[in-house]
Amino acid sequence: MTIYADAIWVLNFGMDSLLLWMTARFLKRKIGVLRILLGGFIGSSIVLFSFFPSLDWTQSIPSKIALSFLMILATFGRSRIKTFLKRLFTFYLATFLAGGALLGIHYLITFELSFQAAYHLANQKGFGDPVSWLFIILVLPLVWFFSTGTVRTLETTKIQHDQKFTVSLSLGEFHWKGTGLLDTGNKACDPVSGTPVIVVSIKDSKELFPKEFVHWVSQEDEQLHHLEELSDSLKDKIRMIPATSLGRQNQLLIGFKADEVEILSEKEYMRAKRVLLVFTMRSLSADKEFDVILHQKMFQEAQVISETEMIATLS
């Protein structure tokens, strides 16, 4: 079998560089192209060493680990041990993720479960790997694309989990409980009092509210013209909020001054008095993970409740 050393080295150089780029993306680090290429060159040098019998020791596992150390140092520079190890293990994760995906896709498409194939695989050595180089060149960019997308999705899910709270609302005769998401982009406030505004979706809890109120909420663009449908106790709590929100441009949002809003997290229990509620029939989350959009200012003004008072309230 003819071995083209230059082709093998170029392919490994490209793969190592791409893996280092993936690592930088996972770590959210902006690294220059030259540093990534330098790290890729160091990693691909192991291919060149393999053609010299006197350098067989470079193919050992300790040598490969040491080479990965040099790749990370060349690409990301010097850092504290903890930061270095984080970069190193992220690089290993990217490598195993890409390699495992390539093998999985390859054998899903081409592998024949037979004694002959098993014998062939067991006796493969050197550069005669059954995963073709052309296949790697074509599929590795796709693996990179879907890997980075999956990592971003996982990060978003974690952030949302960390920013979700159990919320209890009290508004006159209404008492409602749901899941709220802290949205730092929510800047809606009453321009006069500065009271923060939160958005509450009752789409999946319509049965907990009077039919007249649900009907009024469903008329999102005509709510101002149907205030007579509300009870007198709710009319007294109405506040007009000029805002651009929920798909309505340059209109008045009709909010209600809450009696109180209670927020329960894994660490503490809080109670806010100065809150305006804007109701909508629209879903706030495509996967129904939350039904309230919270305001950051609520947490700054909320009173932290002691454990004793919390137990008394819940009981």
Note whether 75 and 31 are within 8 A (CB). Answer: yes
CA–CA separation, 218 vs 231, rounded Å? 16
* Active-site residue (options: 6, 129, 183, 204): 183
What length is written for the chain? 315
Residue 186 CA: distances (Å) to CA of 12, 162, 258:
47, 17, 18
DSSP codes, 8-76: HHHHHHHHHHHHHHHHHHHHT----HHHHHHHHHHHHHHHHHTT-GGGGGGGSHHHHHHHHHHHHHHHH
How many other β-carbons are positioned within 10 Å of the β-carbon of residue 118?
12
CA dihedral 190, 193, 177, 158 (to 10 degrees): 70
183 part of the active site:
yes
Q: In what order do the strands lie in the sheet with 248-257?
A: 238-245, 248-257, 276-280, 197-201, 292-294, 174-182, 164-171, 260-264, 269-272, 303-305
d(CA 111, CA 129): 13
Q: What kind and span of H or E run contains 304? A: strand 303-305
- Residues that are catalytic: 183
